[in-house]
Structure 1
Amino acid sequence: MTRVLVVTDGGRSGSHVRALLGVEPDIDIVGTLPFDGDLAVRAAELWPKVVVIDTEYMVSQVLPVAAELRARIPGVSMLLLCDPTKRGMLPPRRRAGDLSFLLKDASPALLADSVRRLAGGERIVHPRLQAASLNTERGLSTRELEVLGLAAEGESVADIAHRLYLSGGTVRNYLSAVIMKTGARNRLDAIRIARKDGWLR
């Protein structure tokens, strides 16, 4: 049996993904958790083999949480369900680690097959998402968006540095680069611009 944890935004029940996977005899849904600051700690108690993340957060905001999940649950595989019409939900060209990407509207058979492949050690990026990502030009790097996403959640420079295993000076450099690239007046203005352009939720 493949142990699967479903992660959703706080206001969503995850029933859609649970319904799609719950009928599979070799897949055991061990729980549904909200995408929040306690996710990694609570997920570790359930010890899933695969985590399916169905959220409206941008990929840059999911990556730090994915890193925490990997640190607490060695060998876990993660599948992020993405909407290719939202630019901030496209797979990054680099630094995605072992995070896999599938369309939000994937068929039940494709979703179940993807979970099995992940449990077997494969990494998946749906071709449509990969093509959309390659065809999208953006000024901000994945790491810059990660740092900005955490800043948008109210994290301090020290907190961001701790979560991403960076120095405080490096975090400040990333934030300065974001401000320059977006033409923002300051960090708050950069967050506003990134949200308006669809890179942050």
Structure 2
Amino acid sequence: MVIRTLLALDGALVRGALSLVLAAEEDIHVVAEVGRGDAVDQAVDARRPDVAVVDLDLIAGGTATAGRCPLLVLADRRHARGLRGLLTPGRTVGILGTEVPPQRVVDGIRRLARREAVVDADLVMAALATDNPLTDRETEVLRLTAEGAPVDEVAGSLRLSSGTVRNHLRRIARKTGARTRVEAVRVARDSGWI
């Protein structure tokens, strides 16, 4: 049996490279390649693939494709929460990280075609996590920062050095994916952490 495969990946270089890898496999045939999310459903309808390998960023806005063919979703750990909408009963969805070797994608396509599970446990845990990633101290630092307190005032209130407060703010920025303190505050408020 030849597995008809659709590639819906952002970036012509990545899409082309994976297409070449798959072309070397006797039992996998790439029937279409798309680089835009709005073209995924149309390509599935037109080409009727057995499996679609999709970039989470392309389908983050939602797609009906998951109901029409199994999806092998490639996701970056930083954006894993976007997987939540795909993890619903009745959908055949496999999940792999974007950093996996090409052979894992090849194996994932074969397994999904047989309706077997394909799961990157770390990504699924990241997608389902709702807990605050900030420590109690980081939460305190961010709460005071959100109230407009400068670093020295936060340090005095929490009996820390200014350098320690700056270190906390750097870790907070990394954990929230923020580039600025204001953005970190917004992310934490939107997530209900402060």
TM-score by length of 2: 0.57
> What does residue 83 of structure 1 align with?
76
Give the distance between the partners of 1:133 and 1:53, measured in 2 at CA: 17
Deviation at 1:52, TM superposition (A): 0.2
> What does residue 102 of structure 1 align with?
96
Deviation at 1:46, TM superposition (A): 1.0
Deviation at 1:123, TM superposition (A): 3.1
Contact 1:18 1:29 in 2 (8 A): yes
Structure in which a larger fraction of residues adopt helix: 2
> What does residue 114 of structure 2 align with?
120
> What does residue 22 of structure 1 align with?
23
| Paired AA for residue 100 in structure 1 | G
Give the distance between the partners of 2:71 and 2:22, measured in 1 at CA: 15
| Paired AA for residue 23 in structure 2 | G
Q: Structure 1 pair 86/58, CA: closer, same or farther in 2 (3 Å)? A: farther
**Structure 2 stretches lacking a partner, 5+ long:** 133-185
Give the distance between the partners of 1:119 and 1:132, measured in 2 at CA: 25
> What does residue 129 of structure 1 align with?
123
Cα-to-partner distance string for 1:25-57 (whole Å, 9 max, x where unaligned):
111111101333343123211111000002534
Give the distance between the partners of 2:43 and 2:110, measured in 1 at CA: 23
| Paired AA for residue 123 in structure 1 | A
| Paired AA for residue 40 in structure 1 | D
**Structure 1 stretches lacking a partner, 5+ long:** 139-192
Q: Percent identity?
A: 24
Cα-to-partner distance string for 1:144-167 (whole Å, 9 max, x where unaligned):
xxxxxxxxxxxxxxxxxxxxxxxx
Contact 2:8 2:58 in 1 (8 A): no
Deviation at 1:22, TM superposition (A): 2.3
Name which one, 1 or 2, has greater alpha-carbon Rg. Answer: 2
Give the distance between the partners of 2:12 and 2:81, measured in 1 at CA: 20
Task: Give SS of 2:106's match.
Answer: helix
| Greater relative contact order (CA < 8 Å, ≥ 6 in sequence) | 1
Give the distance between the partners of 1:94 and 1:44, measured in 2 at CA: 22
Residue 53 (str. 1) matches residue 21 (str. 2): no
Q: Structure 1 pair 31/87, CA: closer, same or farther in 2 (3 Å)? A: closer
Q: Structure 1 pair 90/36, CA: closer, same or farther in 2 (3 Å)? A: closer
Q: Output the aligned Cα RMSD.
A: 3.0
Contact 2:66 2:92 in 1 (8 A): no
